[in-house]
Amino acid sequence: MTYLSPSKLLRIEKALRSVSDVEGDFAEFGVALGGSAILIASQCRARSIPGQFHGLDVFGMIPEPTSEKDDPKSKSRYAAIKSGTSRGIDGQQYYGYRDDLLADVKDSFAQYGLTVGEDGIFLYKGLFEHSWPTVKVNSLAFAHVDCDWYEPVSYCLGAIAAKLSPGGVIVIDDFHDYGGCRNAVEEFLAQNPSYKFEDGANPVLRLEA
């Protein structure tokens, strides 16, 4: 249900615990099969401060990396996906090729006792720049950014920063995997010195309280 390594999941859990007293909702940009989204939504429901979970994804074929700030590795990865030859977890069908990925993800949430559309859990299908403006959220305490390429990562960071509460965190999945993601994060940090960079398998950007 997730491409994330155990070390990345543990860092997400640690980041979630660190915002237990921070006001705001939780969000994930790049839901894929829903594994990390289920973890994040569960933690959102369990904490004492009221909040909702918002998961955003195209729930289909990942968009192409089109920026000059994306590296050859990113473009090679997309070419493999587009060709139809990419394999999923344990050799299964790659999630982007599924006929109704959104329905599959909703079913996965249900297996863990979480009902999408209820319980303060919402999923949004479409490009981030189209779906995020429709999300009703006053503030964020936590956000997970797992969208690979320069342009979506850059957009997400700006969108999150406009809503993130002091003490809130952003976990970045692809910083050490794809150059476009790394470029977007480094530009964001240069423009937003109030964020502390905590390196690791999936770095954490923490807005100082």
Please state, in angstroms and rounded to a whole number, the distance separating the CA atoms of residues 80 and 39. Answer: 29
Q: Is the pLDDT of residue 107 over 90?
A: yes
Query: What band does 143 get if pLDDT is binned at 50, 70 and 90?
Result: very high
pTM of the model: 0.97
| Average pLDDT score over the chain | 96
Give the pLDDT mean for 181-199.
Answer: 98
Query: What band does 89 get if pLDDT is binned at 50, 70 and 90?
Result: confident
Query: What band does 65 get if pLDDT is binned at 50, 70 and 90?
Result: very high
Give the pLDDT mean for 83-94.
Answer: 90
Please state, in angstroms and rounded to a whole number, the distance separating the CA atoms of residues 116 and 156. Answer: 22
Burial of 138 (0-12, 13-18, 19+ CB in 10 A): exposed
The number of distinct structural domains making up the chain is 1
For residue 44, tell me if it sits in a domain: yes
Contacts made by residues 13-19, CB under 8 angstroms, sequence distance 24+: 13/39, 13/43, 15/142, 15/169, 15/171, 15/204, 16/40, 16/43, 16/142, 18/169, 18/206, 19/141, 19/142, 19/167, 19/168, 19/169
For residue 1, tell me if it sits in a domain: no
Going by their DSSP bridges, the two strands 204-207 and 195-198 should be labelled as antiparallel
Q: Is the pLDDT of residue 56 over 90?
A: yes
Domain containing residue 82: CATH number: 3.40.50.150
The greatest distance separating any two alpha carbons of the chain, rounded to the nearest whole angstrom, comes to 46
Q: Is the pLDDT of residue 97 over 90?
A: yes
For residue 91, tell me if it sits in a domain: yes
Q: Give me the domain span that covers residue 174.
A: 6-207
Please state, in angstroms and rounded to a whole number, the distance separating the CA atoms of residues 175 and 70. Answer: 12
Is 166 strand, coil or helix? strand
Nearby residues of 1 by Cβ (< 8 Å), 6 or more positions away: 33, 34, 35, 38, 89, 108
Q: List Cα–Cα distances, 132 to 114, 126, 166, 202, in angstroms.
A: 22, 9, 21, 23
Give the pLDDT mean for 7-30.
Answer: 97
Query: What band does 3 get if pLDDT is binned at 50, 70 and 90?
Result: confident
Q: Is the pLDDT of residue 199 over 90?
A: yes
Q: List Cα–Cα distances, 183 to 30, 34, 50, 64, 176, in angstroms.
A: 18, 26, 34, 17, 11
pLDDT for 175 equals 98
